[in-house]
Structure 1
Amino acid sequence: MKKLFLLALTITIFAAAQNVATAKATKNKKSTSSNFELNVAHINDHHSHLEEEKMPLKLGDQTVTVNIGGMARMAQAIDEFRKENKNTLVLHAGDAQTGTLYFTLFEGKADANIMNEIKFDAFTLGNHEFDDGNKGLKGFLDVLKVPVVSANVVPDKGSILENKWKPYIIKNINGEKVAIIGIEVVKKTKESSSPGDDIKFYDEVETARKYVKEVQNKGINKIILLSHAGYERNLEIAKKVEGIDLIVSGDTHYLLGSQFEQFGLKVADPDYPKKIDHANGEPTYVVEAWCYAYLLGQLKLDFNQKGVVTNVVANPQLLIGDNFFEVKDKDNKNVQLTGAEKDKVVKFVNENKNIKFVKNEPQAEKLLEGYKKEKNEMGKKSVGKILDKIPGGSENRIPDAKNPEGSLATTLVMESVLDKLKTIGTRNIDFVIGNAGNIRITLEPGEFNYDLAYTLLPFATNTIYTLEIKGSEVKQVLEDAIDYSLTGGSTGSFPYGAGIRYEATKAGKLGTRVKKIEVLDRKSNEWVPIDANKTYVMGTNSYIASGKDGYKTLGEIIKTRGGTNTYLSDVPIFIDYVKAKKEISRPKSSNVIFKY
């Protein structure tokens, strides 16, 4: 009887356990098979632009200047996003660093701390995270508490960056598992940044395919690619790799969505998000959120029981302040917009879902104010000495009888850019060309500090491009710029360079003024005549690379054949150059002989 009793008890306990297990399995199956809503907010490429900035926008029937962006404002917008939505993910698609004095002074720590304050759910490495080499990136990551993902960037065993990031993370969101895989842009990082030799890079498409399969084998069917591979490359990944639900893109600084054209802004693609359909009927969506914390990308994704996105609701928003509006009066002075005119703009913004008044989040603002105060104090700190007077600014743009060498300060800055591009091994750079208008002052003998650097080069968003160009096209670029500077355009277009020198005359017409061009041969280090049929690698700034300031041919080359935007700003480049040299003298020559 005792044995029968024990057997019956055992059977009863086993049956009860089975019932519990069945109940749990049923519960789990229910949670993973029901429809699921995921709300994603994202930014990319804030590039140490921590403070708000001024920008003209068309708001209704008038163009006004507003305060836009700033990471304290972004923090508030993300806080509101989390409060107003369920099942949220907040992602950063890379390039947190490089671009302003905040990075130059604090070496990424200011960026890391404010990202910690925002509490991003994941961050992927951008190419500029490697600008200060492995050691600089380690300093940033040592402070950063946000999970970092990058599947195709792999440190060697023993590297100081070993185990600093993972290929992907899996987030459990209200019972649903979502995989976030990181991808880095390979070519640009290797050519335009400074990763150590102990860092290995792997193809973006193949790596994405590998890790999508790996997480699928773990039973996960909701997959996000957090990719700093650039918009075009990410569209390629979307087309070639099935199983990805969303690609959050970075690197290309693209503003997506035709709805932003109403604000007088140029968009790279009318679609936000961009939908890519696969043969199996499952879509992949691709998004990017401009740059510099100007915009918060937002979208709601509805998944069915199979983990397929069945509906998307998008709501990307420009983030602006509500207390600053300017217009130009008849005397070309800034005036405050008030009264009925301001009310009309406020009404327009409040009624438009793609632009939003956002105040600064108090804790992030307090954190930023501490760095801002320190930045202002450090701005007066010397980085080196200027030994001679080096002409620059508006009065020295074009060589003349009084100053036959013209803007030697522009030549000096070009030398610093060429030196930087050679240091990072940018595609065997041959020479650089820049416009005199980018240089705003004459350098006087004495201490050179951070504030002076940003006075000399105030356009912090002006970054360095590299491109391939034929010798014959170089001549036309110089002809365009000189003609524009002499015939009613801007005198600021007048060209100077490093690694290149030329002779030209004031007399003549477009196409006839440039008489002689020589380049400094990389192998022999001797000046040789430019070869009209040879293809060279040239550096320049993003402003004239877009065709502005009369650089028509240059703009057409970039538009038709493309170039590489390194997103390196000329300001920190020049600061680092002065730091390394310690003392700066006049350049030996402006590399321009101009017969006026």
Structure 2
Amino acid sequence: MKKLLLLGLTLALFSAPNLEAKTSRKSNSQSSSGAFELNVAHINDHHSHLEEEKMPLKLNGKTVTVHIGGLPRVAQAIKNFRQNNKNTLVLHAGDAVTGTLYYTLFEGKADAELMNAINFDVYTLGNHEFDDGNKFLKSFLDVLKIPVVSANVVPDKGSILEGKWKPYMIKNIGGQNIGIIGIDVVKKTKESSSPGDDIKFLDEIETARKYVNELQSKGINKIILLSHAGYEKNVEIGQKVDGVDLIITGDTHYLLGKEFEQFGLVPEADSYPKKVNSPNGNPVYIAEAWNYSYLLGQMKAKFDKNGVITELIPTPKVLIGDDFFEVKNAEGKGVQLDQKEKNEILSSIKNNKNIAAIKNDSALAKLLERYQKEKTELGKRTVGKITEEIPGGSDNRVPNEHNKDGSFATTLVAESVLHKLRNTGTGNVDFVIVNAGNVRITLNPGVFTYDLAYSLLPFTSNTVFITDITGAEVKQTLEDAIDYVLNGGSTGAFPYGAGIRYEATKEGKLGTRVKKIEVFDFKANKWVPIDVKKSYMLAVNSYIAKGKDGYTTLGKITAQKRGTDTHLSDTKIFIDYLKEKKEIGKPKSTNVIFKY
């Protein structure tokens, strides 16, 4: 029996254009009695970003830095959502962990306790839940008290993870049975994370089809896929699998909806949610809620008696605080708006359908405060030892007469990333390029703590991005960055690497400065000239992957959808690297010869 689910979520502050769905009977579908309204709220990929963060947004004609996200704020938004709507369903589409010091220090316990307090109705596993193996995941799930679904991740009999989740759950809401199937991304989890050999991963599409059929055989005609398979894969599932009504997706961290451009944001697609048709012609809606608890996805779905969505009203909201509004003054210094200006901003937010100024939930704020205090103490804990000064930070970004080699600390970070990726088989990476501005301090001899790790690499939203790239594009990437440095851009763009070395000169123009590039041949165990026609696998941080800091060639590559974001934190990679090595000295070379 085929069925489709009319998905819909409404928050009191929002109304948005209705998405109409042509009503058609799902093949072999069993009728329910009458129409039904379901209100769905969702987040994904909060990645241990438990605290609110700062971000500049365009508000009421001004660029204003605000507090955004944080699970206490998400909790209050969800509480409002449940109070203001009937027939609610609150979902988390995976990747709850890894990304901040909260994960590094508390190994998922802090995430689990806050998620329990929010009381998500259902949660699915993401690939990063497997980053530290089965033992970690078990300890996280032992604390987590909310239902977990993942149909295509199957532990062997006797695995310590056996019985920790189910393929799907059936939830009765307003007298209607709703089927919710969990799906994880397969390739990335197997190649970039560390699941045990006793965990089997099954094809996303075939698994979805299997369990949709099983739910239909039980008379369920409203089915949601809670899928950490990524936006593009979930669009494919929606187009290939009959019987799915709504897909709540994660993994790709996509902000959907051109309405968010008004805040200076850049959405990945024009529509939240994306509507496609299944093979039998019924509508399927695919929704993702950005990342790091910055946004709460919301929609109201209306179903007909056959379980087909006939109307969907989307109301996704960026979640910001109501207490912090900072702008730059004439001297470029951040200052708070005066009360009159603040009230004008708040008034504009109140009348806007796509943003909400929300106070933190007090109970979650207190729970988080407990972890914040522990984090302050645990941050002093030793990771390893630095044996000698390793120059880095703003004074050492570009090789100069005072420091002819430049930023050894940036090279060290690149080496840690290459070590991680080569030893986990992630994309069979050939080399790594890192911009010097990503690495903020010089490492001094002595004990190296968790706090220092986040001083060295403070950009917690920076993750490792992998892409194929030709030798010619590598040369142009280095040329782009150096030209940006020399022509008024940030010195933080200056490139360093691991598995790659180059010679360049200050003289010349774009395209002529890089004189020689070599890459390390791991099979032959020697340096060889780069082949301009050959394709290589390159790892960079997600910031320059988007073309920032003058890395325009990388930006074009990313726009072509050629790469993939592993969402691995470079900070955690460095911490794990030093833990393994126990002590580290200055690299033999920065792999750069720059004639200034």
> Secondary structure of the residue that 1:352 maps to in structure 2?
coil
Conserved 8 A contact 1:431-1:539: yes
Conserved 8 A contact 2:179-2:215: yes
Greater shift in the superposed pair: 68-77 or 349-358: 349-358
Q: CA deviation at 1:593?
A: 1.5
Conserved 8 A contact 2:155-2:200: yes
Q: CA deviation at 1:183?
A: 0.7
Structure 1 CA distance for aligned equivalents of residues 305 and 397 of structure 2: 66
Q: CA deviation at 1:99?
A: 0.6
Equivalence for 1:251:
251
1:578 maps to 2:546: no
Question: How do 1:263-412 residues align onto structure 2 when only pairs under 5 Å count?
Answer: 263-278=263-278, 280-412=280-412
Structure 1 CA distance for aligned equivalents of residues 95 and 323 of structure 2: 30
Equivalence for 1:441:
441
Conserved 8 A contact 1:45-1:96: yes
Q: Which amino acid aligns with 2:344?
A: K
Q: CA deviation at 1:401?
A: 2.2
Equivalence for 1:232:
232
Equivalence for 1:7:
none
Q: Which amino acid aligns with 1:396?
A: N
Give a deviation string over 1:37-79, Cα, whole Å, max 9, x none: 1111100000000000111111112121111110011111111
Equivalence for 1:139:
139
Q: CA deviation at 1:546?
A: 0.7
Q: CA deviation at 1:281?
A: 4.2
Greater shift in the superposed pair: 355-364 or 386-395: 355-364
> Secondary structure of the residue that 1:33 maps to in structure 2?
coil
Structure 1 CA distance for aligned equivalents of residues 576 and 81 of structure 2: 39
Equivalence for 2:504:
504
Equivalence for 1:486:
486
Q: CA deviation at 1:507?
A: 2.0
Q: CA deviation at 1:279?
A: 5.6
> Secondary structure of the residue that 1:221 maps to in structure 2?
coil
Question: How do 1:67-78 residues align onto structure 2 when only pairs under 5 Å count?
Answer: 67-78=67-78
Structure 2 CA distance for aligned equivalents of residues 480 and 272 of structure 1: 35
Structure 1 CA distance for aligned equivalents of residues 361 and 205 of structure 2: 38
Q: Which amino acid aligns with 2:431?
A: F
> Secondary structure of the residue that 1:325 maps to in structure 2?
strand
Give a deviation string over 1:515-543, Cα, whole Å, max 9, x none: 22111112122112222222111111111
Q: CA deviation at 1:352?
A: 1.2
Equivalence for 2:114:
114
> Secondary structure of the residue that 1:366 maps to in structure 2?
helix
Equivalence for 2:123:
123
Q: CA deviation at 1:174?
A: 2.5
> Secondary structure of the residue that 1:324 maps to in structure 2?
strand
> Secondary structure of the residue that 2:324 maps to in structure 1?
coil
Equivalence for 2:260:
260
> Secondary structure of the residue that 1:49 maps to in structure 2?
coil
RMSD across aligned C-alpha pairs, in angstroms?
A: 1.4
1:529 maps to 2:529: yes
Conserved 8 A contact 1:32-1:175: no
Pair 445,279 (structure 1): closer, same or farther in 2 beyond 3 Å: closer
Give structure 1 stretches of 5+ with no counterpart: 1-29
Structure 2 CA distance for aligned equivalents of residues 132 and 120 of structure 1: 24
Structure 2 CA distance for aligned equivalents of residues 253 and 193 of structure 1: 18
Q: CA deviation at 1:483?
A: 1.7
Greater shift in the superposed pair: 184-193 or 113-122: 184-193
Q: CA deviation at 1:561?
A: 4.5
Q: Which amino acid aligns with 1:89?
A: L
Q: Percent of pairs identical after alignment?
A: 69
Equivalence for 1:223:
223
Q: CA deviation at 1:31?
A: 10
Q: TM-score, length-normalised on structure 1? A: 0.93
Conserved 8 A contact 1:438-1:492: yes
Q: Which amino acid aligns with 1:291?
A: N
Structure 1 CA distance for aligned equivalents of residues 387 and 109 of structure 2: 33
Pair 119,31 (structure 1): closer, same or farther in 2 beyond 3 Å: farther
Q: CA deviation at 1:558?
A: 1.8
Equivalence for 1:592:
592
Give a deviation string over 1:317-357, Cα, whole Å, max 9, x none: 11111111100001111111113211110110111122112
Structure 1 CA distance for aligned equivalents of residues 64 and 54 of structure 2: 10
Q: Which amino acid aligns with 2:284?
A: T
Structure 2 CA distance for aligned equivalents of residues 533 and 370 of structure 1: 55
Conserved 8 A contact 1:222-1:244: yes
Equivalence for 1:211:
211
Structure 1 CA distance for aligned equivalents of residues 186 and 521 of structure 2: 28
1:458 maps to 2:485: no
Equivalence for 1:150:
150
Equivalence for 1:26:
none
Query: Aligned pair count?
Result: 567
Conserved 8 A contact 1:31-1:175: no
Q: Which amino acid aligns with 1:382?
A: T
Q: TM-score, length-normalised on structure 2? A: 0.93
Conserved 8 A contact 2:127-2:189: yes
Higher helix share: 1
Equivalence for 1:17:
none
Q: CA deviation at 1:148?
A: 0.8
Question: How do 1:96-111 residues align onto structure 2 when only pairs under 5 Å count?
Answer: 96-111=96-111
Conserved 8 A contact 2:230-2:251: yes
Question: How do 1:153-164 residues align onto structure 2 when only pairs under 5 Å count?
Answer: 153-164=153-164
Equivalence for 2:22:
none
Q: Which amino acid aligns with 1:124?
A: T
Structure 2 CA distance for aligned equivalents of residues 480 and 208 of structure 1: 44
Structure 1 CA distance for aligned equivalents of residues 321 and 80 of structure 2: 15
Conserved 8 A contact 1:31-1:176: no
Equivalence for 1:468:
468
Structure 2 CA distance for aligned equivalents of residues 329 and 350 of structure 1: 26
Q: Which amino acid aligns with 1:58?
A: K
